[in-house]
Structure 1
Amino acid sequence: MDEAAISDIFAAFRPVRCRRMFGGIGIYADGVMFALAAGERIYLKTDPAFAFDLKERGAEPFVHETQGRRVTFSYWSLPDAALDDAEAAAELAARALRLALIAAAGNPRRMMPTRARSRRD
């Protein structure tokens, strides 16, 4: 999935920034990563309750294999139905962003660095 497709999916939500990372793409809003794209799927930041809701909609957890071990992260796939429904994608993205902001508040290093602005405008 490319950055243009990701931006289209979240157009009803708000503008997002994409940043390449570890063979995938981190998806940011309000300075925090609330989702990631790996392969052809988008995964949203979750907590146990949100993960349960996404599972009920047919979503799957993000699992990475490293050194022969499977590691499951707190990201679940964006349900297929939301890929074609901008309002549903926006609702789910907003929920993931709230969780990402809560997590970032507890760990300020999770915030995306901002570029210094010039005094000349």
Structure 2
Amino acid sequence: MFGGHGYYANGKMFALVREKSLYLKAGSGNVADFLLSGQMPYIHQCFGEYFPTNFYSVPMDVVEDETLLAQWVAKAIRQLGQTDQNEKASSALDSRRTRTPTTTSAVLNSHFF
């Protein structure tokens, strides 16, 4: 996944290891931990474009402390449930939106230009 190795819980990815770096799933329940420690999201590059992900790098002091790392991993796994809730809320909002048809017109005669 993303050119690295993904780690899954309940069929969903909560961790990514790429180029000797560990990234964990971030959400509203743990993103502050990453940001306060100065960590950045993993940026995926595809076809010359860059896409930030919800996976943030884990500070080295956390990686080296087994107890602390277990806490961060547990928080990342809890974010998987939040993702489900966010997707349900988002799809509910999408279904309530009224769709307005768009009209496009094209001029086929090049003499108008």
Q: TM-score range by the shorter chain?
A: 0.5 to 0.7
Within-5 A mapping of 1:1-121: 21-48=1-28, 50-104=30-84, 106=87
For CA contacts below 8 A with separation 6 or more, give which structure has more relative contact order.
1
- 1:25-68 alpha-carbon deviations (Å, 9 max, x no partner): 11113433111111111111111452232121132210012222
Contact 1:45–1:96 (8 Å) recurs in 2: yes
Structure 2 CA distance for partners of 1:49 and 1:101, relative to 1, 3 Å:
closer
Moved more, 86-95 or 63-72: 63-72
Unaligned 5+ residue runs, structure 2?
89-113
Let me know the Cα RMSD of the aligned residues: 2.0
Deviation beyond 3 Å, 4+ runs, structure 1: 104-107
Report the CA distance between 1:104 and its aligned residue. 4.3
How high is the TM-score relative to the length of structure 2? 0.66
- The separation in 2 between residues aligned to 1:71 and 1:61, in whole angstroms, is 10
Q: Which has the larger radius of gyration?
A: 2
User: How many residues are matched?
Assistant: 87
Unaligned 5+ residue runs, structure 1?
1-20, 108-121
- The separation in 2 between residues aligned to 1:97 and 1:81, in whole angstroms, is 20
Contact 2:29–2:79 (8 Å) recurs in 1: no
- The separation in 1 between residues aligned to 2:37 and 2:57, in whole angstroms, is 10
Structure 2 CA distance for partners of 1:32 and 1:66, relative to 1, 3 Å:
closer
Contact 2:41–2:57 (8 Å) recurs in 1: yes
